[in-house]
Each structure stands twice: as C-alpha cells, then as structure tokens.
C-alpha cells in the first residue's frame, strides 16, 4: 500500500518505501526496445548490452579475443545496471506522481455529506450525488467533497493533501482566495456553509489526479534542444568508435570489441540522458503542489525565462470587492453623526460593500441599539442602488450611489453642501467609489469605497525585481487610478485605459523582441492576452473564459504565486544545466582511465595519471563509476538545485562551477577508489 493514514492529523501520507519496488518493476518492463527507443542515448547502451551478451556466450564471435567470459559477463552486468538505473530514475519520478494521485483519490472517496435541501433541511447524501449549486454544511473533522464557495461561517481548513503545506488556512466568506475551498481538504475547526461550484469529475482534485497519472508528456523546446545536442554528440562518438577498428588495422593494432563498447558507453552522456526526464517531471509536479494547476510542462519551463510580467488590476491585484475605507463628514455634521447614519442605513444592505460599511462604523465606536432601528426599511437592490429606513422617530436615512442620493435630495428640496460634488469627483478620479449619506434629505457625509490591494503585494513584487523581471499593470481605469494602484503594489509600470487588443499588441511587441512574456488575469477581457502570452496564469476566482485561455490556473487566486512558479522554472533550467555540465565533464575525465587501457600505443601511458592496477581493472572501474553515478545524482534531479532571489546568471554560474569541478574531480577519485578494491580480485 502506497498510502498511510496519519491518525493524529487525520491526513494521508505517501509511503515512499513502496515507490521504489513499483518503479523497479516498471524499469524492468521498460527494457523493451520499443520503449527504450524514446531515450536514444540509453537505447544505444541497451544495444551494447545485447552485443556483450553475445560476447559473453561466445568471446570469439567477432574474432579472436583474449578476454574471458567472466570479464564479458561483468561488463554485461554493468551495462544492464546502467540501463536499469536510468529507467529507475525516470520511473521513480513517475511513481511519486502516481502515489500523489492515489493519495488524492483516497482523500476524495465517496463520503457521506450533509446537503441542505430547498426547505432548508439537512439531508445526508453521498458526495457522488452532489451537483453544482448544491448547498452543503461541513463541520470539524469533515472532508470537503467538491470545490466550492463559502456562503457562511469561519473555519480553519487543512489543505496539506493538496498543497503539501501543513499550516491550516483560515477560510471565510466575503474575500477572494479565502472564500473558495477545494475538494479533498478537511475542516479542522468550526463549520462552513458551502455552495458547490464544480461538476463531478471536474474539480481541481480530479484534474490533479489526471495530471499526476499522466506519464506520456511532450518534451519542452529547451529539452528538445538539449536532446538534439546530446544525440549529436552521441552519434559523433558512435561513428568514431565504429570506424576506430578500421583505422587501427592499418597500424597493425588490434582492439577488443568489449573495450570499444566500454569506451562508447563511458563517452556518451549517459548521466544527463538518464536524468533529463526526472528533472522535467519533478519541476512539473512542484508547480502543481503550489495549488497551481499547470496545463503543460512547456509553461513550467518557460516560467524560468520570464522577462516581462503583465497583470490585470481588478480581481488580480485587488480583491474586486469594494471596501469602505473612509467616512467624510459634510458641513456642520460630525464624524460620529455620519458613522451612525451609515451604520443604520447599511443594516439593510447585504452586499459586501454594505457589510464593510458596518465594520468601518464599528471600528469608529458605533454600536446602535436594535430598538432604535425600527420603522419602514428599504433594502439595497441593483434597481434602487440605495438602502435605508424611515425611522419611527421621524428621521429618514438613506445611503447609496451619489447620483441617486443627489436626485432624491434635490427632488425633496433638501440640502446639498457646496463641496459635495468636488469631493465626489476627487474620490472617483482616484479610482474609488463615492456613496452619499442623507438624513432628513440633507447630504451629511460621503463614504469612500475602495477596491483594496491584496496583502503583501509590494514586498512580493520586489522579489520579482530581484529575479530580473519587469512588472506592468494593464487596466481599463483612468491614468490617475492606475498610477496609484501601481505605486501601492510596487510595480515598475502601468498601462491605463487599456483595451483587450491593446494588451495583445503590447505582449506581441515584447515577444517579437525575443522576450518571454507572462500575463496574469481573471476576466473575460483578459482571455485574449492570457492566450497570447507565453505563460498565462488565470485566477481561480475569475471567469471561465480566462481559465480556458490560460495555461496555468492558481486555485488560491494569489498573483504573487508567480514568484514560486518562476523559481521552479529556473530551478528546472539550472538543475538541467548543472547536471549537463557535470555529465559532459565527467565523461572527459573518464578518458584518462579508458584510453591508456584500450590502446597499447607507445606514449599513451602518460595519460594513465591515476596509475590504475591493470587494463581490465581500469575498464571495469570506469564502467562501475559510470553506472553508480546515475542513482547518486537522481536525488538531485528530483529535488532540484536551490534557487535564491539573486541574479539568476550568478546562480547559474555558481552551480556550473560547482558541478563542473565536481564532474572533473569526482571521476578521478571514484575510479581510483574502485580500482583499489577490484584490483585485488583481478
């Protein structure tokens, strides 16, 4: 069983001790030549294995040989282990993904849930019976069966089964990313009333399972380029080794076929050829562990090369819900008078804006006795655009859109203070929404509603600057509003009054300059830009059109998640670059072990700087090292090289130096130590 249940935390954990046996079995099955041909470098090693098996059975098959069957058998075993270790590295990465999928599926089992019917009565049904739009109640210890939106309640939710993070997340209605919940997560405290927003089989969890179980994935452009380079070098070495016996025959020098096979296998880049796929798969899985649904590995890799990032404003940088931030008294009215009237009028406004006004009034010390709020009430509606009450005491209180309240006051021949219009325009120019408060048909104050910027934006976008990425906000708002939001968010630039076609043209302009462009948005008007960009990250709180156009969806609707995505992409590229450098230089170092042993040409003995015991010991030592280096480097390929928020070129340079020197020195040490051991038995 790959999955274990943690009884103390009520969660499921992957038992990785079961990953290797399954991966090993698949590695053996993958020895099928039709499977191996997908990895040309290791496929050549397998062909060499077949030739060595023939030589093990009959050492003189290709001519008279002085090597024994035992030596040929040892070389055959090393070649088999090389192929198996290569397959194992790939299959471990795949099986970790499958294990994650299995854990998600177990978490997402067909559990019994509490559904609220049309009469408001709780009925017990299975999760498979739920439909989009159903209301369910979840309490402490319950699993959330499907993706949904919180309607009521506040609770701590354990999202570790999805995100891998152990810290609980506070969920409540009326916010952006904190008001959405994901199927497969668990309620730790209190309760929530949730409206189901996904169909059966279409939840984030279902998509994660499908992604985790996908084993056949297309190679990315960078990986294709690397493959071409590695295959070209492999073909070059192959041609050299194949033609070498004919060249040496003119010099009356004979060479063992077994030695030529050993030379070829040690020279071709078997290390990076074995680790390229694990690097790619692990990077893809890491992005999904951030609660970001990635549609392709191409987008993950491209994220490492991002030069420019464009962001939408409303719903991306800001929450999209306007919040009351300020109460402005007019004329001779006091702040307390305005706050009390706003509090009373907002009792009949159940919108997020109305609730925010109540919260602001409470922070100012307003707490009205319910007995004072009696009379004929008028609830807020999209038609009237105002709310209020005619109190039994005789006072008439209204709160609403500025044009509606002004019209009401003027029709009743009420009082409008001279500076009202100026203050309303000032708030509007800054991108805010002004609401007016009237008492007995006198406008006594203004409420400033503002679309609040999501927390931590400025500090997070500083990290993007350190990563060398330029940030630009694209918004349809006026220039002043755009400037204020861009400055408060810590962005480099902004584009005001931008239409969808303007965003596309801007992205294309950068792309024609050879730059990699990312776009983050949530609206239907962002869809064309999301589709055009190299990396399109849509907010889960956004429209269906935006999510369909993007190649990544952030389930938490947090635009700063792009930093983690960029770091993962760069980690993938840097890891691949470092291991490629190690592999190439590692092969060069092995020349000094192989060449003096193969060619009995006078003068070549000076290359035997390691002073290896014998020709056979040198060959076997080099091949053993070539074999064991693959499993030794596999953990690095799966984990990736650490990436810090400094100049990526410096990170790449540093890692290339470390792995370049490692690839140069390690073979000398490793081969010599192996020779000291096996030299005693040969």
Note the pLDDT tens digit of each residue in 49-101: 999 999 999 988 887 778 888 899 999 999 999 999 999 988 887 777 666 55
**Alpha-carbon radius of gyration of the chain:** 34
**Is 212 a residue whose pLDDT tops 60?**
no
Please write down the HEC assignment for all residues of 289-338.
HCCEEECCHHHHHHHCCEEEEEEECECCCEEEEEEEEEEEECCCCCHHHH
Strand, coil or helix: 415: strand
pLDDT of residue 102: 57
CA distance 135 to 128: 14
* Number of C-beta neighbours around residue 657 at 10 A: 12
From the candidates 26, 158, 312, 556, give the one annotated as an active-site residue. 312
Question: Around Cβ 24, how many Cβ atoms within 10 Å?
Answer: 16
Q: Which two tokens stand for residue 367?
A: 């707490």
CATH of 319-452, one of 3.40.1110.10, 3.30.465.10, 3.40.830.10, 3.30.110.30: 3.40.1110.10
Judged by DSSP in three states, 451 sits in: strand
CATH of 112-202, one of 3.40.800.10, 3.40.50.800, 3.90.226.10, 2.70.150.10: 2.70.150.10
Instruction: Give the homologous superfamily in CATH for domain 294-317+455-555.
Output: HAD superfamily/HAD-like (3.40.50.1000)
Contact of 576 with 648, CB cutoff 8 Å: no
What is the pLDDT, as a whole number, of residue 627?
93
Q: Which residues on neighbouring strands pair with residue 437, listed in sequence order?
A: 399, 445
* Encoded tokens for 263: 């030379």
Q: Which residue has the tokens 């807020």?
A: 380
Residue 142's nearest CA partner among 132, 209, 153 is 153
Mean pLDDT check: name the lowest of 205-214, 532-541, 592-601, 630-639. Answer: 205-214
Judged by average pLDDT, the poorest of 14-28, 67-81, 376-390 is: 14-28
Higher-pLDDT residue of 253, 90? 90
State yes or no: pLDDT of 486 exceeds 90.
Answer: no
Largest CA distance in the chain: 119
Q: What percent of the chain has pLDDT over 90?
A: 16
Task: Identify the band that residue 2 occupies on the pLDDT scale cut at 50, 70 and 90.
Answer: very low
**Residue 518: CB atoms within 10 Å:** 27
In angstroms, rounded to a whole number, what is the distance separating the alpha carbons of residues 563 and 370?
A: 48
Structure tokens at 253: 């020098």
What is the model's pLDDT at position 389?
Answer: 92
φ, ψ for residue 301, nearest 5 deg: -70, -40
Question: For the chain, what percent of residues have pLDDT higher than 70?
Answer: 84
SS3 510: helix
Give residue 16's pLDDT band: very low, low, confident or very high (50, 70, 90). Answer: low
Residue 113: pLDDT over 80? yes
d(CA 277, CA 285): 12
C-alpha span between 173 and 368 (Å, rounded): 24
Per-residue model confidence as pLDDT tens digits over 29-56: 999 988 888 888 999 999 999 999 999 9
DSSP state of 399: E
Q: Where in the chain is the domain with CATH 3.40.50.1000?
A: 294-317+455-555
Backbone angles phi, psi at 366, to 5 degrees: -85, 125
Sheet of 396-401, strands arranged across: 318-329, 442-453, 433-439, 396-401, 386-391, 375-378
Average pLDDT, the chain: 80
φ, ψ for residue 166, nearest 5 deg: -85, -20
Instruction: Report pLDDT for 321.
Output: 65
Is pLDDT larger for residue 438 or for residue 15? 438
pLDDT digits (tens, 9 = 90+) for 139-183: 887 878 878 888 888 887 876 555 444 446 677 776 545 577 777
Decide: 400 and 385 in contact? Cβ < 8 Å: yes
CATH 3.40.1110.10 in the chain: give the residue spans: 319-452
3-state helix, strand, coil in the chain (%, to 5): 55, 20, 30
Q: What is the pLDDT of residue 607?
A: 65
Tell whether the model's pLDDT for residue 397 goes beyond 90. yes
From CA 366, how far away is CA 337, in angstroms rounded?
Answer: 10
Instruction: Say what the pLDDT of residue 174 is.
Output: 63
What pLDDT was estimated at residue 73? 93
Asked which of 140-144, 354-358, 629-633 is least confident by mean pLDDT, the reply is: 140-144
C-alpha 438/C-alpha 384 separation (Å) is: 15
Judge contact between 264 and 607, C-beta under 8 A.
no
Q: Flag whether pLDDT at 252 surpasses 80.
A: no
User: Most confidently modeled of 76-85, 273-282, 546-555, 590-599?
Assistant: 76-85
pLDDT for the residue 335: 93
Question: Look-up: residue for tokens 């009949």?
Answer: 348
Higher pLDDT pick, 438 / 267: 438
pTM above 0.75, yes or no: no
pLDDT digit string (tens) for 563-573?
888 888 888 88
The structure tokens 């060619």 sit at 599
Tell me if residue 312 is catalytic: yes
Where is 149: in which H helix or E strand? Answer: strand 148-152
Q: How far apart are CA 291 and CA 271, in angstroms?
A: 32
Q: What is the pLDDT of residues 410-424, one digit of tens each?
A: 999 999 999 999 998
> Is the model's pLDDT at 208 over the cut of 60?
no
Per-residue pLDDT at 45: 93
Q: Are 340 and 366 in contact (CB under 8 A)?
A: yes
Every domain of the chain with CATH number 2.70.150.10 lies at 112-202
Residue with tokens 């169909």: 199
- Alpha carbon 597 to its chain's center: 49
| Residue 679 confidence (pLDDT) above 70 | yes
Give the mean model confidence (pLDDT) for residues 514-533. 84
Helices (H) and strands (E) counted in the chain, each on its own, are 22, 24
Average pLDDT over residues 644-669: 76
Task: Provide the H-helix boundaries in 399-499.
Answer: 402-411, 420-429, 457-466, 479-489
Determine whether 368 is exposed, middle or buried from the number of CB atoms within 10 Å of its CB (0-12, 13-18, 19+): middle
pLDDT mean over 509-523: 87
Q: What is the mean pLDDT of residues 388-404?
A: 90
Distance CA 353, CA 434 (A): 12
pLDDT band at 108 (very low <50, low <70, confident <90, very high): very low
Tell how far CA 526 is from the center of its chain: 20
Question: For position 232, what pLDDT does the model report?
Answer: 85
Average pLDDT of span 324-339: 92
Please report the pLDDT score of residue 583 as a whole number: 87
Angle among Cα 288, 569, 163 to the nearest 5 degrees reads 20
Lowest mean pLDDT among 20-34, 96-110, 279-293, 576-590: 96-110
Q: Are 443 and 436 in contact (CB under 8 A)?
A: yes
* pLDDT at residue number 157: 80
CA 565/CA 557 separation, integer angstroms: 14
Cα 233 to chain centroid distance, Å, stands at 33
Q: Tell me what pLDDT residue 188 has.
A: 78
């Amino acid at each position: 069983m790959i999955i274990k249940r943690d009884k103390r935390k009520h969660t499921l954990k992957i038992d990785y001790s079961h990953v290797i046996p399954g991966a090993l079995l698949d590695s053996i099955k993958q020895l099928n030549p039709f499977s191996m041909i997908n990895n040309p470098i290791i496929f050549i090693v397998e062909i060499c294995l077949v030739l060595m098996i023939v030589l093990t059975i009959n050492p003189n098959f290709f001519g008279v040989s002085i090597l024994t069957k035992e030596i040929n058998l040892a070389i055959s075993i090393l070649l088999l282990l090389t192929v198996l270790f290569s397959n194992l590295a790939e299959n471990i990465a795949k099986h970790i993904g499958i294990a994650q999928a299995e854990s998600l599926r177990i978490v997402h089992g067909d559990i019994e849930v509490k559904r609220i019917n049309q009469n408001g009565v709780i009925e017990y049904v299975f999760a498979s019976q739920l439909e989009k739009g159903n209301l369910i109640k979840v309490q402490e210890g319950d699993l959330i069966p499907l993706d949904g939106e919180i309607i009521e309640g506040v609770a701590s939710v354990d999202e570790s089964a999805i995100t891998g993070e152990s810290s609980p997340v506070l969920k409540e209605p009326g916010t952006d990313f904190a008001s959405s919940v994901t199927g497969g997560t668990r309620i730790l405290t209190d309760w929530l009333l949730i409206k189901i927003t996904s169909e059966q089989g279409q939840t984030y969890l279902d998509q994660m399972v499908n992604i985790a179980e996908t084993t056949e994935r297309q190679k990315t452009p960078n990986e294709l380029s690397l493959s071409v380079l590695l295959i070209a070098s492999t073909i070059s070495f192959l041609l050299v080794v194949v033609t070498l016996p004919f060249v040496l025959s003119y010099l009356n020098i004979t060479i063992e076929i077994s030695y030529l096979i050993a030379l070829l296998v040690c020279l071709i880049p078997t290390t990076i050829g074995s680790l390229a796929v694990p690097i790619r798969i692990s990077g893809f899985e890491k992005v999904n562990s951030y609660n970001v649904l990635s549609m392709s590995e191409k987008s993950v890799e491209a994220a490492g090369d991002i030069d420019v990032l464009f962001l939408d404003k409303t719903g991306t940088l800001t929450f999209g819900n306007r919040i009351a931030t300020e109460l402005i008294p007019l004329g001779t009215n006091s702040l307390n008078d305005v706050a009390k009237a706003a509090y009373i009028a907002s009792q009949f406004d159940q919108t997020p804006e109305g609730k925010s006004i109540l919260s602001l009034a409470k922070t100012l010390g307003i707490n009205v006795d319910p007995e004072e709020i009696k009379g004929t009430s008028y609830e807020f509606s999209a038609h009237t655009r105002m709310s209020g009450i005619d109190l039994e005491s005789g006072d008439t209180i209204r709160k609403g859109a500025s044009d509606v309240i002004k019209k009401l006051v003027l029709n009743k021949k009420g009082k409008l203070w001279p500076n009202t219009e100026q203050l309303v325009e000032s708030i509007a120019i800054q991108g805010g929404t002004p609401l007016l408060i009237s008492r007995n048909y006198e406008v006594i104050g203004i409420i400033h509603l503002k679309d609040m910027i999501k927390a931590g934006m400025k500090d997070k976008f500083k990290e993007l600057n350190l990563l060398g990425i330029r940030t630009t906000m694209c918004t349809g708002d006026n220039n002043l509003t755009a400037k204020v939001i861009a400055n408060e968010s810590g962005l480099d630039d902004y584009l005001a009054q931008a239409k969808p076609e303007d965003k596309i043209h801007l992205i294309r302009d950068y792309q024609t300059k050879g730059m990699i462009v990312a776009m983050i948005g949530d609206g239907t008007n962002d869809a064309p830009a999301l589709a055009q960009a190299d990396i399109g990250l849509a907010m889960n709180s956004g429209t269906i059109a935006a999510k369909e156009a993007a190649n990544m969806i952030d389930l938490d609707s947090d635009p700063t998640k792009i930093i983690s995505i960029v770091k993962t992409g760069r980690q993938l590229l840097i890891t691949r670059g470092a291991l490629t450098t190690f592999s190439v230089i590692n092969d060069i170092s092995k020349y000094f072990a192989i060449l003096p042993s193969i060619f009995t040409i006078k003068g070549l003995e000076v290359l035997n700087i390691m002073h290896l015991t014998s020709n056979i010991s040198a060959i076997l030592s080099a091949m053993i090292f070539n074999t064991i280096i693959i499993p030794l480097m596999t953990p690095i390929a799966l984990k990736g090289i650490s990436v810090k928020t400094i100049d990526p070129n410096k990170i790449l340079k540093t890692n290339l130096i470390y792995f370049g020197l490692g690839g140069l020195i390690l073979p000398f040490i490793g081969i010599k130590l192996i020779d000291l051991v096996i030299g005693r038995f040969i």
